[in-house]
Structure 1
Amino acid sequence: MRELSGKVAVVTGAASGIGRALAVRFAAEGMSLMLADVDPGGLAETARLAGDTKVLTQITDVSDEDSVRHLADRAFGELGAVHLLCNNAGVYQGGHLWTRTPEDFTWLLGVNLWGVLHGVGAFVPRMIEQDTEGHIVNTVSVAGLLAGPRAGGYAVSKYAALAASQSLAHDLIATGSKLRVTALCPGAVRTRINRSERVRPVHLAVAPGPDDLDQQGRVDAAVDKGIDPSRVADMVVAAVHEERFLLITHPEHETGLRRQTEILLAGGLPPL
């Protein structure tokens, strides 16, 4: 997808972090925007930062199919088309896998996996019908490539999101679609992912345990040292232009992925 100017982009999780950076970057490219999040204040601020481009906003819970379909109806109905879909909304929770509750998995999978699946179901058929160039960017995570300790629930949701992205990319090619897919796998980025509990639904709330609290400090430190979200947005635009499927934001994770593959093929457990 070489030309972005005059096209329409949809971004979920647009109230902060990578989602906000994507919105601002797409606006600079001359795109119209449909922005979604559960945080109305942050969403309004992102719309303001987008400047003079046409911007629509919608409070959207990506874990809810009807909410995402309403978002798609507005985008196609009021903007006429969708050329770039960023299923970006995501939440994080640390802690050992055996301490995760059903409520934890419902929340993590609801946003990180079902948010992608609902976005694909609501938008992609209509994007295919447009019969124009288009692109889907699914924000996965390096945790969807390199699973480690103290974040098993998160890794499960992100591995699944990567599988969904890869299957989608193959499906689109197999059916002759002009749409392409990027699986965005960021490492540490200065976002608010480490404060995801602020948007956790009350009916899924669970008191944090000792392992959650222990991991919180580690994640806080990683986020503080992370790269700026604007750098990720620049990489995404380049990936869309190049039709790149896998986008890894940190070179050291490319090295880790190669090493992991070699060790897995030898039957071993990859080290951290």
Structure 2
Amino acid sequence: MREFSGKVAVVTGAASGIGRALALRFAHEGMHLMLADVDPSGLAETAAQARPARVLTQITDVSDATAVQHLAARTFGELGAVHVLCNNAGVFQGGHIWTRTPEDFAWLLGVNLWGVLHGIQSFVPRMIEQDTEGHIVNTVSVAGLFAGPYMGGYCVSKYAALAASQTLAQDLALTGAKLKVTAVCPGGVRTRIDDSERVRPADLIVGRTRDDRQAQAIVESVVEKGIDPGEVARQVVAAIREERFLLLTHPEYAKGLREQVESLLDGGLPKPPHYE
């Protein structure tokens, strides 16, 4: 898909960070937007910055299948089509994998994995029926490529999101659909992922642990040193045009990925990643 002007993009997690940057970039490309998030004020701010593009917004918890179905129904009903779907919403929770509670996993998997699956199930069948070129962009993470300490639950959710993305791309290719897929695996980006607790549902809140706080300090440092979200959005648009499946926002991770594969093939445990 090379032409964007006049087409429709859907972005979840659009209230800040990469989601906001994607929305603004698509608006610059002349697209109509449906923006979704659980943060009303942040969503309104993104919409205001994206205008004069045509912008619709909807408060949407992507872990809720019915909410995402309503998002899809409204988008197709009011905008008539979807050409780019960005399953971008994501949250972070750190700590040793054995200390993570069922509530932690429910939250992480609900947003980071089920948010992607709900987006696929609610939008992709209709996008296929359009019989037009289109693209699905799933925001994964380098944590979906490199499992490391203090990131157990987060890595589990992101590895699964990468698997969902790859399977989707292969299914679409097998059936001859005109849709392509990009799995975005950002390294450090200046987003609000380190402040994910602000959107954690009250019924899934648990007490903080020492290892959780240590993980929080790590991710705060990574975010502080990260690249601008606008650079990620620029790379995503290029990846859509190039029909690139895997997008590493930080090229230096390619070397680590090769080393990890070699270590696994030798039967060894890969070195812990150095997130940056």
Counterpart for residue 189 of structure 1? 189
Partners of 1:60 and 1:75 lie apart in 2 by 13
DSSP 3-state at the match of 1:156? helix
Counterpart for residue 220 of structure 1? 220
Partners of 2:135 and 2:216 lie apart in 1 by 34
Backbone CA RMSD of aligned residues: 0.4
User: 1:39 and 2:39 equivalent?
Assistant: yes
Superposed, which structure 2 residues align to 1:92-171 within 5 Å? 92-171=92-171
DSSP 3-state at the match of 1:182? strand
Partners of 2:268 and 2:194 lie apart in 1 by 31
Deviations 1:10-30 (A, max 9, x none): 000000000000000000000
Partners of 2:251 and 2:180 lie apart in 1 by 23
Q: TM-score by structure 2 length? A: 0.98
Partners of 1:214 and 1:155 lie apart in 2 by 16
Counterpart for residue 253 of structure 2? 253
User: 1:11 and 2:4 equivalent?
Assistant: no
DSSP 3-state at the match of 2:146? coil
Deviations 1:126-169 (A, max 9, x none): 00000000000000000000110001000000000000000000
Percent identical among aligned pairs is 74
DSSP 3-state at the match of 2:261? helix
DSSP 3-state at the match of 2:92? coil
Counterpart for residue 29 of structure 1? 29
Q: What stretches of structure 1 move > 4 A for 4+ residues in a row?
A: none
Offset at 1:214? Answer: 1.3
Return the letter of the residue paired with 2:255: T
Partners of 2:221 and 2:204 lie apart in 1 by 26
Report how many residues are paired: 272
Partners of 1:43 and 1:176 lie apart in 2 by 36
Deviations 1:186-218 (A, max 9, x none): 000000000000000000010111101111111
User: 1:91 and 2:82 equivalent?
Assistant: no
Offset at 1:251? Answer: 1.5
Return the letter of the residue paired with 1:168: L
User: 1:234 and 2:234 equivalent?
Assistant: yes
DSSP 3-state at the match of 1:34? strand
Partners of 1:222 and 1:236 lie apart in 2 by 21
Return the letter of the residue paired with 2:181: V
Offset at 1:51? Answer: 2.0
Return the letter of the residue paired with 2:104: D
Superposed, which structure 2 residues align to 1:189-208 within 5 Å? 189-208=189-208
User: 1:48 and 2:48 equivalent?
Assistant: yes
Which consecutive residues of structure 1, in runs of 5 or more, have no partner in the other structure?
A: none
DSSP 3-state at the match of 2:208? coil
Partners of 1:136 and 1:182 lie apart in 2 by 6
Partners of 2:108 and 2:34 lie apart in 1 by 24
Partners of 2:243 and 2:41 lie apart in 1 by 33
Offset at 1:53? Answer: 0.4
DSSP 3-state at the match of 1:97? coil
Return the letter of the residue paired with 1:193: I
Deviations 1:85-131 (A, max 9, x none): 00000000110000000000000000000000000000000000000
Partners of 2:180 and 2:218 lie apart in 1 by 35
Counterpart for residue 70 of structure 1? 70
Offset at 1:252? Answer: 1.6
Return the letter of the residue paired with 1:66: T
Counterpart for residue 81 of structure 2? 81
Deviations 1:61-86 (A, max 9, x none): 00000000000001000000000000
DSSP 3-state at the match of 2:252? helix
Counterpart for residue 179 of structure 1? 179
